Amino acid sequence: MARRKALSKTEKIVKSVVSRKANKILDTYDLIPTSSTLLNLACSDSPYGGFASGRMVNLIGDSSSGKSIIALTLLALCANNPKYKNYRLIYDDVENANSFDLEYLFGKTAPKRIEAPFYDEDDVPIPSQYIEDFHCNIADALEDEKPFIYVLDSFDALDAEQDARKIEEIRNARRKNLKVSGTYSMAKPKKSSEILRNICADLKKTESVLIIISQTRDNIDPISFERKTRSGGNALRFYATHEIWLAKAGGLKGKGQKRLIGNKVKAKIKKNKLTGKVREVDLRIYYDYGVDDIVPNIEFLVNEKHWKKGGNTIKAHDFNMTGQLKSLVAAIENNGYEKELQLLVAKKWLEIEEELKLDRKPRFK
């Protein structure tokens, strides 16, 4: 009981510091949680959320980099938060590839709240097939005048009706040994720019968020983050408030096991119209758990020398705990210290950001 009271006092102090530092962002925007405390901070300098309402986010990554699970975790967090009880949580599974056990990963509430963008007369979910379908679906959501979080997974899987007709025209011409003038694959970039311009202007009216997932054509190097191609032309980059690139940085194995149980992922915010900062953070995603928000936080505090590590033993002095990573994670979970850990990470993050500021007289007053 005494330890809990001491922690509560520490939590109030830390929360006060965090609120003061992140006050400008919090006062200006209603922030949506991203799935990770570190990713929240990298996007907005706030531990409570990373994506601004009324904006579009582009989440880009190579295969197995956790794009879909990050987006679904975001939806699950909102589904379980009373703050978002009036939000529609829309998951447009264009790839028809989502086979995650949502109830196992996120509990009973999330599967009930997460919906498809459209249902047929038999109540069968119908994802978008063409970019025109996506435009209609999100236009209907905007017309509903309720705030929503819409995840498009993925933009690369969308076709353009005009291109589809052109392909069929070319096929028919080849059968008859005829030539067809013009080319295809140009309709989608043109449509993308037009559609996103209209959508992004309307998102602010309902304080909604659009998250577009993009697949890279090649793997992203986790060291250099060399840019790879993606479909949609420049429209996605132009209209996105955040452009986040994900790269698989290694596999996670069970103790004494050869089989993988998850992946280490590096996330780099390459475009940030909220704070203007380019930041990188490390994430851990487990196959049977989802996005881990404890281990990366512990590793951050260790790497930044807030907690000391000797050999495999970590001394978490804020919690009066000492032990190896696995036992420390268990102790934090069993004692319900997740929020305190989140705030400690935020305090350290914001202290570092404060140190990075130029010691200069403001140019304008």
Per-residue pLDDT of the chain (365 residues; tens, 9 = 90+): 555 555 565 566 566 666 665 555 555 568 999 999 999 999 999 998 999 999 999 999 988 899 999 999 999 999 999 999 999 999 999 988 888 999 999 999 999 999 999 999 999 999 999 888 999 999 999 999 899 999 999 998 888 655 555 445 545 655 666 665 555 455 667 778 888 988 998 999 999 999 999 988 766 666 656 666 666 668 899 999 999 999 999 999 887 778 999 999 999 999 999 999 999 999 999 999 999 999 999 999 999 999 999 999 999 999 999 999 999 999 999 999 999 999 999 989 988 998 998 988 988 98
Task: Kindly list the distances between the CA atom of residue 347 and the CA atoms of 167, 185, 352, in Å, as whole numbers in the listed order.
Answer: 55, 48, 9
Tell me, what DSSP letter sits at residue 95?
A: T
Count of the separate structural domains present in the chain: 2
Whether 158 and 305 share a structural domain? no
Residue 364 within a domain: no
Whether 350 and 230 share a structural domain? no
Q: What pLDDT score does 170 carry?
A: 47
Whether 149 and 14 share a structural domain? no
Whether 3 and 89 share a structural domain? no
Residue 362 within a domain: no
Picking from 10, 59, 63, 8, the residue whose alpha carbon sits closest to that of residue 35 is: 59
Alpha helices in the chain (DSSP H): 2-21, 23-28, 37-44, 67-79, 102-106, 109-113, 131-143, 161-175, 187-206, 235-239, 295-303, 325-335, 338-356
Whether 311 and 245 share a structural domain? no
- The SS3 of residue 293 is coil
Whether 188 and 298 share a structural domain? no
Whether 180 and 327 share a structural domain? no
Whether 25 and 91 share a structural domain? no
Whether 70 and 158 share a structural domain? yes
Q: What pLDDT score does 173 carry?
A: 58
Long-range interactions of 278-285: CB distance < 8 A, separation 24+? 279/41, 279/42, 279/43, 280/42, 281/36, 281/38, 281/39, 281/41, 281/42, 282/38, 282/249, 283/36, 283/38, 283/39, 283/66, 283/70, 283/246, 284/252, 285/66, 285/69, 285/70
- How far is 87 from 165, CA to CA, in rounded Å? 37
Q: What pLDDT score does 26 carry?
A: 54
Q: What pLDDT score does 191 carry?
A: 78
Residue where a domain stops, chosen among 275, 292, 309: 292
pTM, two decimal places? 0.88
- How far is 78 from 211, CA to CA, in rounded Å? 14
Whether 163 and 307 share a structural domain? no
Whether 107 and 128 share a structural domain? yes
What domain range is 217 assigned to? 33-292
Whether 27 and 173 share a structural domain? no
- How far is 75 from 8, CA to CA, in rounded Å? 29
